[in-house]
Structure 1
Amino acid sequence: MKRKQARLLLDAVFLGLVGAIVARLFSLMVDFSQEFFLGKIALYHPPGLPNEGGLPQEVVGPYGLALIPLVTTIGGFLSGLLVYLLAPEARGHGTEAAIRAFHFLEGYIRARVPWVKMFASAITLGSGGSAGREGPASQIGAGIGSLYGTLFRRSSSERRLLLLMGMSGALSAIFRSPMGTAFFAVEVLYSQIEFETQALIYCIFSAGVAYLVSGFVVGWEPLFRVPEDLSITSPEQYLGFLVLGVLAGIVGTIAPLVFHYTQRLFERLPLPFYLRSAFGGLLLGLMGLALPQVLGIGYGWLQKAIDGELPGKLMLLLCLAKILAFSLTIGSGGSGGDFAPSLFVGGMLGGFVAYLFNQPPAPYVVIGMASVFGAAARAPMANIFIVLEITGAFALMPATTLSVMLAYIVQTALSSPLPVKSLYDSQVPNRVHSPAHRGEFFTDILADIKVKDIFQPEKVWAVIPEDMTLRQFVKLFGRTEQQYFPVVDAEGRLSGIFSINDVRPYLLNEDLWDLLIIKDIARRDVITTHPEEDINTVLRKFTIRNIDQLPVVKTEDPRIFLGMISRREVINFYNQQLEKMRRAENLIYVV
């Protein structure tokens, strides 16, 4: 094992440990905030997850839901004010910020951002904001990884890796999903099915350590409970999962659009940032008067859908209403995540499809959770793992894979002509388009190109005999646009080269024109190339003397001159090849 790999593995273990601690602290902050805002002020308790120690039943106080709009408005105001004063980049759903930092900021996140994100998100979620814990955990973990890399003066490439390690560790502790969150960290960066493969092993280590540490504290059970005999027993059931996949792809196209345009609408309001988030909280609270199920994280309601306790038509209404509720919360400037809302939307959609086919809801709810978020986030592989891990429903793997991949195909096809491709604006199609890998692909492309692929042997070049006088050359120079001139001996073999800059010092003294011959001016140490040489090597030769052209000679005989190749020709050819590669990628994948 190389020293660098060993160091990165140790980094992964450390960031997994820290991620578990921070994720647990964040969860406790959310619980405290919810108990204060919803429990103490609004006297309302939404259903929770039994596997997290929550009460499975909704508790409504003596005032009913009347105080919900007050609480959501206060929460929106406080969260918005905190973000506005301390770290504007902590607004919104945290995964987007982590993706942007990876691609465009060399993995750099300001040191204060994770902590501001932690407090702002706890306030948003605790006051009933329609968002999730996982997105903030993603940005918090990524921010800690970035801070760790900055403190220890790591290179930008390593800091990007550390960012992903921190992200996967914190997510794993929140989700209790080590494999799925490791894959999510390396897949969600791209809108096509592509992975940051060099980071995967380190993310698996980080996520695994975080899961172990978290498991010893909160237990090893999955987040959701599903029936023990959950399985697919007949081929006819797959028809329902195909329908679910298509509908999930449609919903996965609509949800990012609604969020995007809601966010733009709030940005146009002539209000300070913190008042916009308060206004979004007010609108959410008014929605909550009629549909309290859309408030908060919503996992308790998802558990009820799995257990078959929600009517089919209500689940369709909740599916659509949750998209708007999440958009109001995050689009107005609130701080939270898009994981939980997307899982909620998908689960309710799955429950509705089960109602249409008169089937038990549990498998459809589970598969719907994976399908909508896998499509909307453009991270299908990761979400298959995540949802199966958080439910323990591994018997549904074949059906989940079918539905999720179909949803992804439908979503990419429908969103292709649209201005909004997914939940994350900062995703790039693939590694070719990422600034994080721009230099790597430059080298890779050039290594496959030979001089013969660019060189134009039919082009005519002025070749200067060694014994030509400077006066004769001056007459010749007036009839050519060449800047570099190869020199040949009496047998026509290459013996030197010179540029117009080498001649310029003698042009002001015409007395020397008949005395000097080209042999006296030309450089003997000629740097040449040949048709079989790769262009990467040629570019390095250009930089040795900062020259713009090189003589091309025969591969078998370096003294036989064939022509010249310029730096500009190489760069232009490279740009053409890069554009062809990008077009080919876009033909293979629907962006």
Structure 2
Amino acid sequence: MNNTQDKKKPEEIHNLHYYIDHIRYDMTNLIKWLVLAVLTGLSVGFISSLFARVLKFVTNYRTEHFWVFFLLPVSGLIIVFLYQKFGQEDGGTNQVLSTIRSQDDVPFRSAPLIFVSTILTHFAGGSAGREGAAIQLGGSIGNQLGSWFHLDEEDRHVMVMCGMSAAFSAVFGTPMAAAVFSMEVVSVGIMYYAALVPCVIASIIASKFAAGFGINPESFHVVNIPELTIETGLKMVLVAIACAAISIIFCMALQGVSKLYAKFLKNPYIRIVAASAIIIVITLFLRTSDYMGAGNSLIELAVENGQARPLDFFWKLVLTALTMRAGFRGGEIVPSFCIGATFGCIMGHLIGLSPSICAAAGMAALFCGVTNCPITSILIAFELFGFRGASYYLIAVSISYAVSGYYGLYKDQTIVYSKYKAKYINRHTRF
């Protein structure tokens, strides 16, 4: 009996040491990522907040001085020159996504390039967003911080995601969605949970930093939310299917315009001047400046007032494709919000469902269709619109995800698992 107990004691001591070592490792790793996340949140939060402030300033200036719009070709030429001179290997958001899965780096010069180029695009009235730029900004800074701290390749990938989340959160004010987006967007069907703690911490810190910097988080008041019934639920399914179709058309339009530019306007300088001229002519023909920039005013009208012109979504889609594929910078995410909100609003009027709730749900559904990020889309809806229409947002996002196929904004995004069955497919999005 005593011999048996004596044999058990060394084994118990060994197990105790084993658990202590693992706890020590886990705590050390946690502290490491907490420190890195705080540093990333503060540094990216500061740069992104500055970016948002400058963006707001130039947008307000352009709104008050319409003549600035005629400087669009000049802004375009400056952007092309900068990228020809300093960023020929810059792949935009696609490069950031591919970095997380490969040994490639995000060049640190991408940060100042995208900062200046996006400001120039918005200053002159190009139809572009800001989250795409923020993702590149944050990814570049996160990668550089990882390099400065001599982190290994896997940890630097986490730092890139951490920077992406922080920048998205600071610029748009949706920390929950921002924390998840960088983990979800890279490989559809799996989540990079190793980055959960740093992405959450960096996202929250960047959001708070931005708020202290005077960057107010986006939010919209949805009105006339009906009770969920079989009838209203089926109507929302129709809205979601239609938004999924528009998301496919948007992705195809971006690709189609790219091919047309490549075929007929091979010189990047001529291309951006010609595109600027087309954008100016269309805008003057439409006699409105509503489609310039990100389109926030259209989103607000659609969601809070239930108002949108029948072709708002169409013109925003066309002008965004012409702008972004010509060489201007900024991103397609907020324009996709605008397209979804205005189209959803019109659908609401057509089918007899609250245009406000349809605009909000359409915004989330179309974002899901172009990014293939359903969890992020749901969280964005909750953070922007609140939880009162939660059932409608869930229906819209889930249906849009299923119906939008394998199209997407980012050609380096990988669809790891099928949308339709539990099957490993590992393919790139149709771009």
Partner residue in 1 for 2:382: 388
Say if 1:75 and 1:281, in contact at 8 Å, map to a contact too. Answer: no
Partner residue in 1 for 2:9: none
Deviations 1:373-418 (CA, angstroms, capped at 9, x unpaired)? 1011111110111132123x22122210111110111111xx4xxx
Q: Which has the higher helix share?
A: 2
Deviations 1:328-357 (CA, angstroms, capped at 9, x unpaired)? 111111111111111011101110111112
Say if 2:73 and 2:273, in contact at 8 Å, map to a contact too. Answer: yes
2:255 aligned with 1:239, yes or no?
Answer: no
Matches within 5 A, 1:381-460: 381-391=375-385, 393-412=386-405, 415=406, 421-430=407-416
Q: Residue 583 and residue 264 in structure 1: after superposition, are their counterparts in 2 closer, same or farther (change >3 A)?
A: farther
2:118 aligned with 1:112, yes or no?
Answer: no
Partner residue in 1 for 2:94: 96
Partner residue in 1 for 2:54: 29
365, 368, 381: which is aligned to 2:362? 368
Point out where structure 1 has 5 or more consecutive residues left out of the alignment.
44-66, 416-420, 433-581
Q: Report the Cα offset of residue 12 of structure 1.
A: 0.9
Q: Residue 86 and residue 300 in structure 1: after superposition, are their counterparts in 2 closer, same or farther (change >3 A)?
A: same
Partner residue in 2 for 1:3: 28
Q: Report the Cα offset of residue 271 of structure 1.
A: 4.5
Aligned identity (percent) is 22
Which one-letter code corresponds to 1:400 in the other structure? Y
Deviations 1:484-540 (CA, angstroms, capped at 9, x unpaired)? xxxxxxxxxxxxxxxxxxxxxxxxxxxxxxxxxxxxxxxxxxxxxxxxxxxxxxxxx
Matches within 5 A, 1:75-94: 75-90=75-90, 94=92
Q: Report the Cα offset of residue 369 of structure 1.
A: 0.6
Distance 2:253 2:373 in 1: 19
Partner residue in 1 for 2:342: 348
Distance 2:271 2:64 in 1: 25
Which one-letter code corresponds to 2:424 in the other structure? E
Pair member with larger Rg: 1
Which one-letter code corresponds to 1:390 in the other structure? L
Distance 2:83 2:352 in 1: 47
**Other structure's SS at 1:307 match:** helix
Q: Residue 590 and residue 398 in structure 1: after superposition, are their counterparts in 2 closer, same or farther (change >3 A)?
A: farther
Q: Report the Cα offset of residue 230 of structure 1.
A: 5.3
Which one-letter code corresponds to 1:402 in the other structure? I
Distance 2:366 2:417 in 1: 24
Which one-letter code corresponds to 1:345 in the other structure? I
Say if 1:384 and 1:404, in contact at 8 Å, map to a contact too. Answer: yes
Q: Report the Cα offset of residue 37 of structure 1.
A: 4.8
Partner residue in 2 for 1:453: none
Using CA pairs under 8 Å that are at least 6 residues apart, name the structure with larger relative contact order, 1 or 2. 2
Q: Residue 278 and residue 224 in structure 1: after superposition, are their counterparts in 2 closer, same or farther (change >3 A)?
A: farther
Out of 29-38 and 243-252, give the one that drifted further.
29-38
Q: Report the Cα offset of residue 321 of structure 1.
A: 1.8
**Other structure's SS at 2:311 match:** helix
Say if 2:417 and 2:423, in contact at 8 Å, map to a contact too. Answer: no
Distance 2:356 2:423 in 1: 41
Deviations 1:432-489 (CA, angstroms, capped at 9, x unpaired)? 9xxxxxxxxxxxxxxxxxxxxxxxxxxxxxxxxxxxxxxxxxxxxxxxxxxxxxxxxx
Deviations 1:242-297 (CA, angstroms, capped at 9, x unpaired)? 11111111111111111012112212345432332232222222222215322111
Say if 1:20 and 1:211, in contact at 8 Å, map to a contact too. Answer: yes
Q: Report the Cα offset of residue 234 of structure 1.
A: 4.1
**Other structure's SS at 1:184 match:** helix
Which one-letter code corresponds to 1:378 in the other structure? N
Partner residue in 1 for 2:219: 224
Partner residue in 1 for 2:311: 317
Alignment coverage as a number of residue pairs: 400
Distance 2:344 2:235 in 1: 9
Partner residue in 2 for 1:159: 156
Distance 1:88 1:33 in 2: 26
Distance 2:82 2:57 in 1: 18
Q: Report the Cα offset of residue 151 of structure 1.
A: 1.9
Out of 162-171 and 328-337, give the one that drifted further.
328-337
Partner residue in 1 for 2:424: 585
Distance 2:35 2:56 in 1: 32
Q: Residue 355 and residue 270 in structure 1: after superposition, are their counterparts in 2 closer, same or farther (change >3 A)?
A: closer
Q: Report the Cα offset of residue 36 of structure 1.
A: 4.8
Which one-letter code corresponds to 1:115 in the other structure? P
Partner residue in 2 for 1:521: none
RMSD: 2.6
Point out where structure 2 has 5 or more consecutive residues left out of the alignment.
1-25
Say if 1:193 and 1:378, in contact at 8 Å, map to a contact too. Answer: no
Say if 2:408 and 2:429, in contact at 8 Å, map to a contact too. Answer: no
**Other structure's SS at 2:404 match:** helix
2:209 aligned with 1:213, yes or no?
Answer: yes
Q: Report the Cα offset of residue 431 of structure 1.
A: 8.7
Which one-letter code corresponds to 2:49 in the other structure? R
19, 22, 26: which is aligned to 2:44? 19
260, 278, 290: which is aligned to 1:283? 278
Q: What TM-score does the superposition give when structure 2 sets the normalisation length?
A: 0.86
Partner residue in 2 for 1:254: 249
Distance 1:90 1:34 in 2: 26
Deviations 1:36-77 (CA, angstroms, capped at 9, x unpaired)? 55544x25xxxxxxxxxxxxxxxxxxxxxxx74x23222222
Which one-letter code corresponds to 1:263 in the other structure? S
Q: Residue 304 and residue 422 in structure 1: after superposition, are their counterparts in 2 closer, same or farther (change >3 A)?
A: same
Q: What TM-score does the superposition give when structure 1 sets the normalisation length?
A: 0.64
